[in-house]
Amino acid sequence: MNHQPIDDSTQTISWISYILHLIVAVSAVIPGAQMGPALLVVALIIDLVKKGDAPGWEATHFSYRIRTVIWAALLYLVTAPLFLLMFFPGWLAWVAISIWFLYRIVLGMVRLNGQRPVMD
In a domain, 81, yes or no: yes
pLDDT digits (tens, 9 = 90+) for 65-87: 999 999 998 998 899 888 778 88
Q: Which domain holds residue 85?
A: 8-113
In a domain, 120, yes or no: no
What's the rounded mean pLDDT across residues 52-57?
92
Q: By the 8 A CB rule, do 94 and 73 touch?
A: no
Weakest-pLDDT range from 16-20, 26-30, 32-36, 111-115: 32-36
Q: How many domains does the chain have?
A: 1
In a domain, 34, yes or no: yes
In a domain, 1, yes or no: no
In a domain, 118, yes or no: no
